């Protein structure tokens, strides 16, 4: 009976600091964490205005939107214009209707009228 050695225990198996090490029978694999791309041994963050699709591909945020370094999905892209939200279906920045303000946390337009 062979005993498997977990190579991931020491120095993350030699994987990049921004990768996760996955122990396999007789070996290991390195996979870049969300927001980073590469082969697992070397992982680089997706740039500003980009987000990671998977561990090898960064995509640009939709037009008129931006995101921070190492963004993990299109949800991280925020519209540049005041009171605009990123529509999930069309991947475009749309204005909130009159009387509504953008809630940045939820990326939705909410009424700015106080009901009594």
- DSSP β-bridge partners for residue 93: 86
In a domain, 80, yes or no: no
Give the count of beta carbons closer than 10 Å to the beta carbon of residue 19.
23
**What's the predicted TM-score (pTM) here?**
0.79
In a domain, 94, yes or no: no
CATH number at residue 35: 2.10.25.10
In a domain, 90, yes or no: no
pLDDT tens-digit readout, 33-82: 999 999 999 999 999 999 999 889 999 999 999 999 999 999 999 999 99
pLDDT tens-digit readout, 87-112: 989 999 999 999 999 998 888 899 87
In a domain, 37, yes or no: yes
Question: Which value, in Å, is the radius of gyration of the alpha carbons in the chain?
Answer: 20
- The tally of domains found in the chain comes to 1
pLDDT tens-digit readout, 6-22: 999 999 999 999 999 99
């Amino acid at each position: 009976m062979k005993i498997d050695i977990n190579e991931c225990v020491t120095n993350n198996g030699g994987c990049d600091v921004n990768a996760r090490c996955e122990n396999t029978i007789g070996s290991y694999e390195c996979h870049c964490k969300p927001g980073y791309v590469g082969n697992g041994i070397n992982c680089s963050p997706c740039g500003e205005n980009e987000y990671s699709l998977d561990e090898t591909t960064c995509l640009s945020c939709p037009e008129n939107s931006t995101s921070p370094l190492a963004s993990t999905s299109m949800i991280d892209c925020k519209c540049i214009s005041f009171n605009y939200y990123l529509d999930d279906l069309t991947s475009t920045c749309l204005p909130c209707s009159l009387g509504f303000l953008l809630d940045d946390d939820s990326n939705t337009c909410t009424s700015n009228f106080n009901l009594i």
